Amino acid sequence: MTGDLPGEGPGEGAVRLRPPRNTLNARAVWWWRARCLLTTAVPVAVLAALGAFAGPAGTWLWYAAGVLAVLGLAGTAFLPSWWYRVHRWEITDEAVYLRTGALWQEWRIAPMSRIQTVDTVRGPLEQLFRLASVTVTTASAKGALRIEGLDHEVAARLAERLTRITQATPGDAT
């Protein structure tokens, strides 16, 4: 890894990018599956209802509803497990590390000195699965880092820890 950048000699600034250490809670897979099913069920129901009242042209709407249902069920079966394997997060005294994405993986690192707010969110489905999301807002044009699929108790402790670390970190978060 050293020597890849101009001015970088052996041992100078050599930092190896590694996957963050922590996985999400395993219940996140079922939470994502429930979200996928709901996201699929609404348009399928609308297409099926329109197909029922559209007369002879309704056949095409029924076909569209069937194709969408099959694709939605396939995505529900496959994607959440894949997302679970890819999503990682880690908090150190220096930064928040996050890796997300399925096809296009995104690695984000937010230095503690750039953190402005830390929020914990629990939507209705997350509450059902005893999960929560932690949103770390930074002074970045890219926007906040969102760690989803955490056990709600882990999320509360994480928000507490981030608040303590950022208060003790010099910098103005701008």
Cβ-based neighbour number of residue 91 at 10 Å: 21
- Model pTM? 0.80
d(CA 37, CA 10): 52
First to last CA, the chain: 30
CB 77 within 8 A of CB 30: no
pLDDT in tens, the chain (174 residues): 445 555 555 555 544 567 799 999 999 999 999 999 999 999 999 999 999 888 887 889 999 999 999 999 999 999 999 999 999 999 998 899 999 987 888 899 988 888 999 999 999 999 999 999 999 998 877 889 999 999 999 999 999 999 999 888 776 655
